[in-house]
Structure 1
Amino acid sequence: MSKTLHNGLEILELLAAHPNGLSVSEIAECIGVHRTVAHRLIRTLEAHRLCRRDEYKRISLGAGLVTLSESVEQDLRTLARPILEDLADTVEATAHLVVRESDTTVRAMMVIEPRRSQVHIAFRPGQVHPVNRGSAGLAILSTLPPTADERPEVDRARRLGYAISAGEVVSTTIGISAGVPRRVGGAQAAVGVSVFDATDEARIGAAVAAAARSLGDLLH
């Protein structure tokens, strides 16, 4: 690997975890380089508008990342938005699109809040959590062949057509998700909702599964 590029990407990941910004010294300490090296890396990222420096000389992510992110799975997000909006309004709960980022993690790519619900759960896209925790990851795993070490919840999701988890990603929150049928070469993804109460699990699960199938049909 390129050590310089690796350090630069580490800075971006570090800043993503600290939205209020960090000083050059703090960045240098966190990624394990000399302050001079950190300063040089930051100046390069600034030149590409990937990070910025405020009046207090604290570094945070820059607007250039927005331009880069717009093309990431753009077709997937464009097709998913109306489906998620309809799902959120139907279930009156926050809907989300989650994609598998690596062998061990998934990331929330899109979050849509309901327009007519008085109370709902709110969170930002971009959150990362283990693929084997939370309904979205379990739903994605359920679209794959069974493995010897998979959780019983994955097999249950495979049989029901949707996965459910409680408090595994956010405490007091219940997630219900269904895997999106995979397109060739496409990202493994799941559509789901976050609710406070799952007494109506079957109805919500059916709505989530239908939304996932609709998105899958559009992607094929």
Structure 2
Amino acid sequence: MDSTLLKGLTVLERLAASEAPRGVSELARSLGLTKSNVHRTLQTLVMAGYVRATAAGTYECTLKLFELASSVLARVDVRHVAEPFMRSLADQTHETIHLSLLDKAEVIYLHKIDGAHPVRAYSSIGGRAPAYCVASGKVLLAYQEQALVHLSDPLPAHTSRTITSLDTLRQELEQVRVQGFAINRGEWREGVCGLAAIVHDAMGKPAASIGISGPADRLDPAALRRFSDVVVDAARGLSRALGYNPIAQSPRPIHTGASG
């Protein structure tokens, strides 16, 4: 493992996640590195064009990161194809709509459409959340169970409703596969609920999840039941638009010639 490269990427990730420029001392303290190490790393990133120094002596990321991300996003067709389905879902539910991907133990919000209500769930494109705590993540885990190796047991609790047992999570994921959608009952943020369904690609593999989120007082159990059909329909429509054919992907019976 190249420790120098790893430190550089760690500093870059911390800067990218910061809402404001950061100083050498602050970065060193938050990352557990020496100031000289952080300073050398920042100078290398500046020379490479990923970071720039401000007049105040702090550092911030340049748009070079955005250029790289845009190149990656351009190859993710699901974001472009999903737009009309997300718009339709937003019109039907008036809640915030998310298109999400799974990255190890976390869900990443690839795209979103804000809800029409003045009070809505806060999130941002590129933001992350623990997959086992949110509906979009749970439905992805249900169809990509190999990702469970990235989870600890017990699972960290974020609210009083968080599932903290891996066995309990596995049982819920089984239920998700049976019913076709996942629910978040305030497990990541107090008072924020959600519902999501899986999106398949042309090969029948899980490509993303599409779902809704909003305050628990609006997305109560009755509302979640009411919206489950429209969310599942949106996911199926998007899957078909990506080339998914559930009939072609389903196992075909083997005819042996025997009667009866």
TM range (shorter): 0.7 to 0.9
* Structure 1 residue 20: Cα displacement: 1.7
Query: In the alignment, which of 151, 155, 176 is matched to residue 157 of structure 1?
Result: 176
% identical aligned pairs: 29
Deviations 1:44-92 (A, max 9, x none): 2223432232222222222111111112243122112222122112210
- Residue 101 of structure 1 aligns with which residue? 103
Q: Distance in 1 between matches of 2:12 and 2:205?
A: 25
Asked if 2 retains the 8 angstrom alpha-carbon contact of 1:51 and 1:60, the reply is yes
- Residue 203 of structure 1 aligns with which residue? 226
Q: Which amino acid aligns with 1:105?
A: E
Q: Distance in 1 between matches of 2:206 and 2:73?
A: 8
Q: Distance in 2 between matches of 1:99 and 1:128?
A: 10
Q: Distance in 1 between matches of 2:106 and 2:69?
A: 19
Query: In the alignment, which of 203, 211, 228 is matched to residue 192 of structure 1?
Result: 211
Q: Which amino acid aligns with 1:67?
A: E
Q: Which amino acid aligns with 1:91?
A: T
Counterpart of 1:132 in 2: which secondary structure? helix
- Residue 10 of structure 2 aligns with which residue? 10
Asked if 1 retains the 8 angstrom alpha-carbon contact of 2:144 and 2:206, the reply is no
Q: In the superposition, relative to structure 1, how do residues 211 and 185 fare at CA in structure 2: closer, same or farther (>3 Å)?
A: closer
Counterpart of 1:139 in 2: which secondary structure? helix
* Structure 1 residue 152: Cα displacement: 3.1
Q: Distance in 1 between matches of 2:145 and 2:12?
A: 35
- How many residues are treated as equivalent by the alignment? 218
Q: Is structure 2 residue 159 aligned with structure 1 residue 136? A: no
Asked if 2 retains the 8 angstrom alpha-carbon contact of 1:175 and 1:192, the reply is yes
Asked if 2 retains the 8 angstrom alpha-carbon contact of 1:174 and 1:195, the reply is yes
Q: Which amino acid aligns with 1:22?
A: R
* Structure 1 residue 186: Cα displacement: 6.8
Q: Is structure 2 residue 168 aligned with structure 1 residue 166? A: no
* Structure 1 residue 190: Cα displacement: 0.9
Q: Which amino acid aligns with 2:139?
A: A
Structure whose CA Rg is larger: 2
Asked if 1 retains the 8 angstrom alpha-carbon contact of 2:143 and 2:206, the reply is no
Q: In the superposition, relative to structure 1, how do residues 125 and 178 fare at CA in structure 2: closer, same or farther (>3 Å)?
A: same
TM-score where L is the length of structure 2: 0.74
TM-score where L is the length of structure 1: 0.86
Is there any run of 5+ residues in structure 1 with no aligned partner, and where? none
Q: Distance in 2 between matches of 1:113 and 1:54?
A: 33
Of residues 131-140 and 78-87 in structure 1, the stretch that sits farther from structure 2 once superposed is: 78-87
Deviations 1:133-171 (A, max 9, x none): 211111112224699934433222212211111212222
CA RMSD in angstroms comes to 2.5
Of residues 171-180 and 45-54 in structure 1, the stretch that sits farther from structure 2 once superposed is: 45-54
Asked if 2 retains the 8 angstrom alpha-carbon contact of 1:22 and 1:59, the reply is yes
- Residue 153 of structure 2 aligns with which residue? none
Q: Which amino acid aligns with 1:108?
A: Y
Q: Is structure 2 residue 54 aligned with structure 1 residue 54? A: yes
Q: Distance in 1 between matches of 2:49 and 2:189?
A: 33
Any runs of at least 4 consecutive aligned residues in structure 1 with deviations exceeding 4 A, and if so which?
144-148, 182-188
Q: In the superposition, relative to structure 1, how do residues 127 and 2 fare at CA in structure 2: closer, same or farther (>3 Å)?
A: same
Q: Is structure 2 residue 140 aligned with structure 1 residue 121? A: no
